[in-house]
């Protein structure tokens, strides 16, 4: 009897460990395997064309969005194309069958009188509450700890966004507008951002004619572990935690009211 019980416990333990190992594997894949995306298109002779694709885990999931005189998309899982339009139509037809239209009762039941009897705050009370909220927000934002928390949050979010930007590709833009001054302003913005986008974006200003000729071919990836890392770093900062707690308390007080 004891031997049978030990065998059952052993098998149960193996099954539980297998389930835990499988879940850990799924978590590791989700965190470390990136979602890859590609964007390609052009705007020439006032005709836009674009293609944006997303793939995950060796194209197990593959989604494509296209615009070429009209919008279209395609979703494939394990190479099998999903026909979402058909399923949506069936769902809509089923909903119509289950919920037949009913005639609306337009008769008056004195709802207007009831609404008039509902107690409402005066305009001055609303203004007073708004001013108090603004004063409280200014007080929180003026604190040194809040400023430091916002700086940390800004830095970490910026790093997260930067990790999601295209790592490969080119954007070519040849632009000349009717107003040459506007073209010059665009050139000024490009020069100001050149250190950040100069490796990817090439801009050719045209001042003697009106033309818009743009083409792009970009590749990028998004890793969940990178975003999670920066979110954890935000939460680990003591000033950020203090600010989060203050916001949660303020929300709870508002809900109680």
Q: Answer yes or no: is 152 within a domain.
A: no
Report how far residue 171's alpha carbon sits from residue 211's, in angstroms, rounded to the nearest whole number. 16
For residues 38 and 66, the answer to whether their CB atoms sit within 8 Å is no
Distances (CA, A) of 178 to 45, 143, 175, 184, 203: 15, 48, 10, 11, 17
Nearby residues of 167 by Cβ (< 8 Å), 6 or more positions away: 219, 220, 221
Q: Answer yes or no: is 67 within a domain.
A: yes
Q: Answer yes or no: is 197 within a domain.
A: no
Query: Would the pTM count as exceeding 0.85?
Result: no
The pLDDT of residue 45: 83
Pick from 225, 245, 226: nearest CA to 235:
245
Q: Answer yes or no: is 82 within a domain.
A: yes
Q: Answer yes or no: is 76 within a domain.
A: yes
Q: Answer yes or no: is 196 within a domain.
A: no
Q: Answer yes or no: is 164 within a domain.
A: no
For residues 133 and 174, the answer to whether their CB atoms sit within 8 Å is no
* Structural domains of the chain, count: 1
To the nearest 10°, the Cα dihedral for 67, 73, 79, 81? -140
Domain of residue 50, residue span: 33-87
> How many residues in the chain?
257
The pLDDT of residue 118: 46
Q: Answer yes or no: is 154 within a domain.
A: no
Q: What is the mean pLDDT of each run of 10 residues along the chain (257 residues)?
A: 80 92 93 94 91 93 92 92 66 57 50 52 71 78 87 92 89 91 92 86 91 94 94 92 83 69
């Amino acid at each position: 009897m004891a031997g049978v019980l030990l065998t059952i416990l052993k098998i149960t333990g193996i099954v539980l460990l297998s389930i835990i190992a499988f879940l850990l594997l799924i978590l590791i894949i989700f965190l470390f395997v990136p979602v890859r995306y590609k964007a390609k298109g052009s705007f020439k002779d006032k005709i836009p064309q674009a293609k944006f694709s997303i793939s995950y885990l060796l194209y197990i999931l593959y989604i494509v969005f296209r615009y070429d005189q009209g919008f279209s998309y395609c979703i494939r899982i394990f190479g099998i194309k999903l026909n979402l339009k058909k399923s949506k139509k069936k769902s809509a037809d089923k909903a119509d069958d289950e919920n037949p239209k009913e005639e609306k009762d337009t008769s008056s039941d004195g709802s207007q009188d009831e609404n008039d009897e509902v107690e409402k705050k005066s305009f001055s009370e609303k203004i007073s509450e708004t001013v108090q909220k603004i004063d409280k927000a200014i007080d929180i934002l003026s604190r040194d700890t809040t400023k430091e928390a916002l700086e940390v949050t800004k830095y970490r979010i910026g790093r997260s966004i930067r990790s999601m930007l295209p790592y490969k590709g080119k954007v070519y833009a040849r632009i000349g507008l009717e107003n040459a001054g506007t073209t010059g302003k665009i050139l000024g913005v490009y020069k100001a951002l050149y250190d950040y986008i100069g490796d990817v974006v090439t801009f050719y200003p045209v001042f003697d004619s009106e033309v818009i000729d743009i083409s792009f071919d970009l590749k990028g990836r998004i890793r969940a572990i990178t975003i999670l890392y920066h979110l954890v770093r935000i939460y680990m900062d003591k000033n950020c935690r203090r600010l989060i707690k203050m916001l949660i308390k303020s929300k709870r007080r508002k809900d109680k009211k």
